[in-house]
Structures are given as C-alpha cells and as structure tokens.
Structure 1
Amino acid sequence: MSRLVVVVGAGPAGLGAAAGALRAGADVTLVDASEHPGGQYHRMLPGAFAAAHPGRLHHGWRGFERLRDHVLRHPRCDWWPESTVWSLERPGEGAPVVHVLRGEADAAGRERLVLRPDALVLAPGAHDRVLPFPGWELPGVYTAGAAQALAKGERLVVGDPVLIAGSGPFLLPVAASLIEAGATVLEVLEANPAATAARGWGRRPWELAPDAGKAGELAGYALLLARHRVPYRTGRAVIEARGDGRVEEAVTARLRPDWSVVPGTERTVPVDALCVSHGFSPQLELPVAAGCALTRTPGGAFTEVDADQRTTAPGVYAAGEITGIGGAPAARTEGLLAGWIAGGGDPRAREAAALSRRRDRARAFAARLAAAHPIGAAWPGWLREETVVCRCEETTYGSLRRAAGDQASGSARAVKLGTRAGLGPCQARVCGPTVAELLSGRVPGANPHHRPIAQPIRLGELASPPTENTPKPDRKESAR
C-alpha cells in the first residue's frame, strides 16, 4: 500500500506539496479551512459570481489553475475543504495523529475525524502583522490582507478613499487590487527609507537575475500607481488613527531608519478606510503542537527545516511562509520538494536536485526581502500609555508595561493572566508577536504560538467520538 501523506493548507505551498507527494506515488489528503484552494494569494471568487475572468486580479493564474486541477482531479487525492485541524497528537514515534473538524466554521454538526498519516506536511501560511498605534482599533482600520481578500474574493472595497501603509512589497498588490475593484487609493506609505530598501535589494545585484520576472511585476504595479496618480512614499508611516466611532483621518509622519518619528513632520489625511501591514506572522500553532523546533531570526520565529524540508519532529515536513517569508513562488517550490520527500521520493533524484536549487534561490530572495523591509526597533515610541495593544481584551500598553515591571509577575504567563493580553477570541494570533516583542528582555517565557487546541472546538464536538479515516485502494476522484 502506498504512503498516506496529509497536507495541511491548500495555498501555493500546500498545493505544491500535494502535487509532489502524488508524483512520488503517495496517497494524499489535502485539508484546508477554506471552501476553495489557493490560499490568500489565489483567493477565488464565489461560484455565484460566474466571473468571466476570475483571474483578473491574480498573477500566475493559469499556472495556478493547472496545478489546482491536477491535484484536485487526481484519483489518489482526497480534497477536504472547510476542514480545520484543531489538534495534533504526538505518538511515541512516527508522524502525528491529525484531528480534523469538517464543516462550516460556524455551523452545527461538524464531523470530527482522525487521520493517521505516514507523513504530515504543514503549509498553513501566514497572516498580516500589524504593529499597534493609537487608534488602530477603530472600525475602518483593516489589515492590508483583509482588504485584499475582500477585493479579490468578493469584489468589495473597504472604503473610498483608502490610505495604505506599512512595510514590504505586499503593499503594492493590495493597492492594485483595491484600484481594480474601484477604490480611490490616496497614497502608499513604506515605513523604511529608500536607502534601507536600496541596501537590501542592491547588494550583489547580479544574484537577482533569476528573479527578473519579479522586476516586471514590480514595474506593472508602478505603472498602475502612476496611471491612477497614487503617490508611493518611503520613510513615512501612519502613527495614529482618529475618528468618532470609526476612522476619519490618519496621522502620518516621517521616520528615521530605526522607525523613530522625526518631530514636526506629522501630517493629517482625511480617510474613509486605512489598510496597514507591517509584514507577516507565520501561523506556527501546528508546528509547535507537532513538536517542531523554531529558528529565531531578526524577522521573527520560523519552523526549522533541513535541506529536504524535514522539521525536527518525526514524520513532519514544513513548507511556505512558516519556514520564512518568501512569496508564492518560493512557497510552491518548497511545497513540491516537501511533498516529494514526504511521499517517499528519492532525495537524490534529478527532479529533487532541481527543486532544491530553486528553493535555495528563493531563500536568498527572501533574505533580501527581509533586509530591504525590516521592522525598525524604535516603533514602540509610537505608543502611548492608553494605546490598546490587545484589541480582544482592550489591554493597554501602559498596563502591559506595569505588569512586566512588577517583580511578582515573574513570567510571561503571569503577565498574560494579569493583563489578559492574548487571552481573547483570537488567542494571540494578532497581538501575540507584538506582546512577545514588548516583553522581550523583561520577562521570560513569551511564546505566542503555544496552543494545545489550535482552533476553536465546541464542547459537544469534543465529546462526540471521532471517526477514523483511512485511505481506500479504490479511491475515486473527489474534486468538488
């Protein structure tokens, strides 16, 4: 019987992993919480739209369609949409047992299933990281990813006019998506000065030759912004949002390279919506639950993998943004390699060697990306005592500082219990990295990714007996 490989996540990395495992001859169960594959990068319009050109806001749409159709129509692939991995159980040896809930997230009667794979590939992706600033909790302040998801997935704009701010090249496709969906974009603000970006991208420029396609993509965004007269300003950030009941204006300011504010450069801009993103936070709940070691970098924590995408946990592989923020092509390549090895493919095969070389180039590009768009160490200077840090529990920066300075607290857990930072509905997914950074050096033991239960589950669902799911030799095509 062929190996069973479970792939968690159906974005570029997950689809790549499924394709690689199928190519190696394995059976694949592909699990994703969304109704359609593609992840954030290829978020699809609902079928009810009957869109004539569903890929209009997407780069690489035809390649994605080919990969999606190949995977979902393959007779050895089971596609589980609207399915959530809520827990991983580590056995004595071998890959973890995978606990899944199938059904709409808010619906009753979800089915509880258990998978016992020979190998597990984790590709859950990442979500926007937003650094707090006064007023960021106001209605009308969105993450850039949320604004793009609504534009791509529903053709809805979050407001008009819109200001986009933060750091990283992701701001450009967000601006393009909003413009194409009909919004007026006032300006795009990159927090890092032009010199910082130039140093990051300009070091040994000949090494960028294999990524020439990205330069064309960047030029396309620049032309679109120019055509719609949208300024792109570097070294400037939103440091405050104001409004009565919702955002009405944004306060922007020039920043030094360390992201400290240059006094006297503040400017107030009337807005209907504000979209902010300061990079990405990898979704590390499942790797941590599986026992995978993390590696710490200036850009944050990521899942540690070897040259074959193996983690430190037996039978567990990782691909995509949880190993480093590098974009969709890098994630797809890592997924293909991880799936091939997880499915029993020969790591010395010519195909694996070619994937490894592509993966290494992608990692080099990711290193440049991190160097060109770092988070400045002085950003906490934007905060005031009353600035909300944890929006779920309305924990303020002042209360967090006081708790961290209290010798009786002693640990990050005590600070969390005392302030309730990270204990709300999002379970620290939004504020966790920020709280950990603010507590760094003050209290020990801050780990925002440790959650024995990775996703919400009802007590009734927890009490119901699970169904064991095993691959069948006569498995039929299961694409929806």
Structure 2
Amino acid sequence: MPTSPSDPTPPPVPTAEPYDLAVIGAGPAGLAAAVTAAGLGLRCALLDAAERPGGQYYRHPAPGLGAARPDRLHHHWPAFAALLARLDAQVRAGRIDHLTGHHVWTAEPGEPWRLHAVVGPAGSGSAVVEARRVLLATGAYERQLPFPGWTLPGVVTAGGAQAMLKAGLVLPGRRIVVAGSGPLLLAAAASLAAAGARVPAVVEAGDYLGYARTPAALGALAANPGKLAEGARHAALLLRHRVRLRPRTAVVAAHGEDRVTGVTVARLDSAWRPVPGTERRIACDALAVGHGLLPQIELATELGAPTRTGPDGAVALAVDERLRTGLPGLWAAGETCGVGGADLALVEGEIATREIAGRPVPAALRAARRRRRAFAELLAAAHRPGPGWTDWLTPETDVCRCEEVPAAAIREAVEELGAGDARTVKLLTRAGMGWCQGRMCGPAVACLAGGGGEPRPDSRPLACPVPLAHLADAVPRPPDGP
C-alpha cells in the first residue's frame, strides 16, 4: 500500500495561479473527488485538518504502530487502498497538492474563492488557498443526547470507540455497552467484539422494524442488497459473540465515581419516554453511545448557503442533481448533503467532480446515487430521536459539558426568562460557548429550548479555533468596483 499520502507533507510553494478545484476534506467523498478531478485534467488542492487521508470512516493505524492487518478494521479496505494508490500517483505527478494539517476556518466566495486555514496541530501557521471552484466534503460529527452520568470517564461516543480501535489499536474498556440509535451501533459493536471486547448489549432506542413499514421503504431496501448483506454480517458476528440486541431501549443513566461501572437501561415508548418499571442495570467499564451523525456544514451556512432538514431532523446542505449548492462556485458531496455512508459519499464525490469539469456523468453513477440516497433517507427516518428523550434528564444533568450548564439552568432560561430558541439560551446560560462550540450539546439545547419550526443550521464566522494573530494577518478581498 502506498505510504506517501499518509505522511505529513509540507504545503506547496504558493503560486499566482489559482487551483482549478479545492476539495475540503479527505474522507471518502473528498478522496474520490480529488483523484477524479486530477484524472480529468484539473489542478487540484486537497485540504484536510488531519495528517493522514481517510477521514473518520477510513481512519487507520499510524505506520509506527506496526499493524499487521489494518484491513481487518474496515469493511471496505480494498476501496480505500485503491483510493490511496490513485492519490499517491496524482500527488507524485504534481496534479494534486495534498495539504495535510490544514483546517479551513472561513471561505471567501468570488473569482477565485479564497480559503483561509490554520496549519499544524497547534494552529501555529496559516495559509490562504485560492481556487476557481470549491467542493465541500467535510463529513459529519456525532449527535449526542445527554443523560445522567454521560460525563463520566469511560463514556465515549460510538464513533470515538471505533476511532480508538482503528487509529490507536486500543479499546475504551473490556466490557463495553454500545447504545444510542442508528446503523453505526451495529458496526461499532461488531468491531469491538471482533477485537476482543465483551459487549453485553447493544441498546438501540429506535426500532429496526421501521425499515419496512411502507412500500417505499421496502423498495429502498430491495434496491440496496449490499446494505442488507452488510447488516446481516454484523448481526451474524454479534450472534457469534453472544451480544444481545435490545431495541426500543435506551441508557437513561450511567453510574460510577472515578469511572463508569454500570448503566441503567429502560424500555421506551413511541416518543422515546422511559417506561416506568422497565429499568435494568448492566455492569460495564465503558459505554459507547451515539445517536447518529450531523452534517458538518458551517463553512457554507455562514455564507448563506440554502439548507434542508432531513427525516432525522439533521440540517444538511441543499444541492441540486449536479450537487451544486446555492452559492456560485461551491459544490458539496457526501455527508454534507445528508448522512448516507461511505458508498454514497464515493459516488457523490465523483459525480460532483465530473460536473465541475464539464464531463458527462454515467447513468449508472446517477442511478447509484438515487438508490443510496433513498436508503439513507429511510435509515434517517427510522432513527429520528423522539421528543420524549428529555425525560431522561434530571435537573442536575449537565447538558453543556464544556461550560457545565445543567438542564435546570436551561429550563429556567426557557420557562422563567423567556428564551424561545437555542441562541437566546446560549446568551443567558453560556450553553454552547465552550471549546466544542455547541457541537456536542447543540441539538440537546435546541430541543430543550423549544420554539417549534424547522431546526436552524449552525452559523458562525469561524469554523474552528483561530489564533488572534491569524485574524489580524487575514487580508480581506478588496470590494468590487470603484
């Protein structure tokens, strides 16, 4: 397997000529887009905050760990290895500049676009990349719903548990409960069990029977047999390791002093409210919990790009059949258009790049996108969090863990101080003002704030922490005209 794209590379010598295309994000969608662009003759910059390509899905061990069989950590390793080989060839040929450690914090639209990035693990450097077209492939992050004890050591996200295993070859514990909602849970539990962890239960708040309740749902399932086969493989592995699946059940509390030592699970009604009398305690030394993924779209929403709300309540970028956003010169692919998995991201990355290059898109590619997007919408609807999850909270439960804002403070802001949306709650309580900038607590705060209507997308001028010196050095684009 090629190693050069996985190693940190210095930024290229700046040139006066803008790139034909800048791809932000080196996950499945970004990798597919970059190598396709280079193959079509476009000069491409691939910017990514990480030091190695692959994103969250294709996260893999560092070479220094000496992993003998990294392919066993992934279901689609051959596809990733092929992408790495193509990336390596295009980097060597000078058609792609792979800019590792570049975290884009804002973008200026225009002719050309200007992307401002902090560079390096500590953000000590800065860079400006210019390109005629931009493809946003920034992926997604996990949705977290708080509960008593969720801040205990040993409680990690489901994706975080997989990241520890894939990148560090370590487990968060030896006896791990996997909980939350969404297809990621089965994949996480299967990976952990295969790596030697004891998984006493997969606690799924949703109901997998929801996949087949309508003719349209049955059609989406039938059109994606590979996804059904993948789910069957996960189920067979869990059965082999005697992992019990508990549908319509949630972890409503975690227990322990210095570390989690157990969890309380309870059955849920159709609104996700705990059913009294169904509580049961399960011993564990780690909990991997997550309720699906949320598209990471701040770079586009700050510029006013139109959005849509998916069946699971997550806000994604609105794109047309050509994967164009509402901003001239900006395309999107993968999870930024709505969470749909690596297979869909690969297809969308190639389609978007072909459209940018003005090349025909094979009918089979468009058909694959329609099939996989329909399946993704089906899963999103089946795992949409119910409003009753807030009954899990006690007044003392921290909702914003960065600023240690409890549920009682948020409810006081709403019921006594008149806050009717998440922004007002933030101003009154500091919920969402911490290091994660609301990525962990944002959906929960918005739900507690109420206000009705469609969810609002995040909009902030800085997509990541930026040293003040970089802001002072940033030179804005001169205005058009006299």
Per-residue CA deviations over 1:259-279 (Å, capped at 9, x if unaligned) read 111110000111101110111
SS of the residue 2:425 aligns to: helix
1:341 is paired with a residue of what secondary structure? helix
What is the percent sequence identity of the aligned residues? 44
Instruction: Please point out which of 142, 153, 159 is paired with 2:156.
Output: 142
Do the aligned partners of residues 273 and 350 (structure 1) sit closer, same or farther apart at CA in structure 2, a change above 3 Å counting?
closer
- 2:433 is the alignment partner of 1:423: yes
Of 183-192 and 353-362, deviating more is 353-362
After superposition, the Cα gap between the structure-2 partners of 1:262 and 1:194, relative to the gap in structure 1 and judged at 3 Å, is farther
1:197–1:263 distance in 2 versus 1, CA, 3 Å: farther
What is the rounded CA distance, in whole Å, between the counterparts of 1:266 and 1:329 in structure 2?
38
Matched, 1:239 2:252: yes
Does 2:17 align with 1:7? no
Q: Which amino acid aligns with 2:108?
A: E
Residues 173-192 of structure 1: CA deviation (Å, up to 9, x unaligned): 11122123321111111112
Pairing 1:451–2:460 present: yes
Work out whether residues 160 and 273 of structure 1, in 8 Å CA contact, stay in contact via their aligned partners in 2: yes
SS at match of 1:26: coil
Q: Against the structure 1 CA distance between its residues 213 and 395, is the aligned structure 2 distance closer, same or farther, given a 3 Å change threshold?
A: same
- Equivalent residue, structure 2, for 1:329: 343
Relative to structure 2, which stretch is displaced further, 161-170 or 448-457? Answer: 448-457
Q: Which residue in 2 is equivalent to 1:84?
A: 103
SS where residue 147 of structure 1 aligns?
A: helix
2:275 corresponds in structure 1 to 262
What are the superposed Cα offsets for residues 375-433 of structure 1, whole Å, 9 maximum, x if unpaired?
11211111122211100011111111111234565664332121000000111111112
1:182 and 2:196 equivalent? yes
Deviations 1:197-227 (A, max 9, x none): 4427x75534434421222221211121111
Q: Does 1:97 align with 2:114?
A: yes
How far does the alpha carbon of each residue in 1:77-110 deviate from its partner, in whole angstroms, 9 at most, with x for none?
Answer: 11111111011123xx446310012222x26xx3
2:272–2:389: 8 Å Cα contact kept in structure 1?
A: yes
Structure 2 vs 1, CA of residues 295 and 350 (structure 1 numbering), >3 Å: closer, same or farther? Answer: closer
TM-score (norm 1): 0.90
How many residues end up aligned between the 2 structures? 457
Name the counterpart of 1:217: 230
Which one of 105, 118, 126 corresponds to residue 112 of structure 1? 126
Range with bigger deviation, 149-158 or 256-265: 256-265
Deviation at 1:464, TM superposition (A): 4.4
- Find out whether 1:290 has 2:303 as its counterpart: yes
Match for 1:52 among 68, 72, 79? 68
- The verdict on how the C-alpha distance between 1:212 and 1:408 changes in structure 2, with shifts beyond 3 A counting, is closer
Secondary structure of 1:378's aligned partner: helix
User: What residue in structure 2 maps to residue 477 of structure 1?
Assistant: none
- Does 1:250 find its partner at 2:250? no
Higher relative contact order (CA 8 A, sep 6+): 1
For residues 29-48 of structure 1, what are the structure 2 equivalents within 5 Å? 29-48=45-64
Counterpart contact for 1:194–1:235, Cα < 8 Å: no
SS in 2 for 1:368: helix
Residue 187 (structure 2) pairs with residue 168 (structure 1): no
Measured after TM superposition, the shift of residue 26 of structure 1 is 1.0
Specify the SS of the correspondent of 1:99.
strand
RMSD of equivalent CA atoms:
2.3
Of the three residues 61, 72, 78, the one matched with 2:77 is 61
Distance (whole Å) between structure 1 residues aligned to residue 32 and residue 240 of structure 2: 35
User: Of 213, 221, 229, which aligns to 2:242?
Assistant: 229
Equivalent position amino acid for 1:172 in 2: L
Say if 1:382 and 1:204 are closer, same or farther in 2 by CA, change over 3 A.
Answer: closer
Superposition pairs of residues 384-423 of structure 1, within 5 angstroms: 384-407=394-417, 409=419, 412-423=422-433
1:326-378 CA distance string (max 9 Å, x none): 11100111111112222x223xx252x33222111111111111122221121
What is the deviation of 1:20?
2.8
TM-score (norm 2): 0.89
2:72 match: secondary structure: coil
Partners of 2:28 and 2:366 in 1: how far apart? 17
Q: Which runs of 5+ in 1 are unaligned?
A: 469-480
What corresponds to 1:28 in structure 2? 44
Name the SS for the 1:116 alignment partner.
strand
Q: Using the alignment, how far apart are the partners of 1:252 and 1:7 within structure 2?
A: 43
